[in-house]
Amino acid sequence: MKIILTLYLICCAYLFSNAQNVRPYLAIVKTFNGKQKGILSFVDSDQLILRVDKKYVYIPYSKIKSIRLRVQKKDFEYKELVPYTTNWVEDRYETLPNGQQVLKPGKEAPSLGESIAEPFVNMLMTSVVNLAANGLLRPFHEINPSLATFKNTRENPLTPEKILELRYFSTNYQINPDYIAEAQKIKALTKNFKP
């Protein structure tokens, strides 16, 4: 009995650990009054709700020009592309089995200036190379293309189908999906399907 209960608990823990994560999407909404950026929280039949700085902003569809959705990106992290090495020590010295370092045959002991300058120059050069490489990589990290764009014009208004598609991106729908409506939609699509 204990074995069955333990296996049941392990299976439950596995299923909970593989649960779907909610992915917040950044919505950039252009209105007639300006632009509003925030997390797309809820999509209703007549308005959408954005979370902006721990507050909720309600925007009716009649005031919206366009909506662009993007994935939130993590902040840029400094990458050490060229590691700091001490090859200059390994080239001149060898380590004996007792742990003592002695000069390799044919190698000269470094002067006081060399022993001070080599590690400093090595550290300076790796820092310069890493800073330059990260300076080139950062603009590429900042590129964040839109996943979807919804326009609301007289010729192309926001239809209920577009609103339903926009609803899929909201955090509220990701937490509480409408399984019954989805099953009915799939059933309607496959009704005329012939194998």
Domain ranges of the chain: 18-73+145-190, 87-142
Backbone torsions φ then ψ of 28, nearest 5 degrees: -110, 105
- CA 11 – CA 147 distance, rounded (Å): 35
Taking the whole predicted model, whether its pTM rises above 0.95 is answered as: no
Architecture per CATH, domain 18-73+145-190, reads as Roll (2.30)
Tens of pLDDT, residues 140-194: 888 888 888 888 888 888 888 888 888 888 888 888 877 777 777 777 777 776 6
164-178 as b/e, with b when 16 or more CB fall inside 10 Å?
eebbebbbebbeeee
d(C-alpha 122, C-alpha 57), whole Å: 53
Residue 161 DSSP SS3:
helix
Which tens digit of pLDDT belongs to each residue from 81-135? Answer: 877 776 656 666 777 788 776 767 766 666 667 767 777 878 888 888 888 988 8
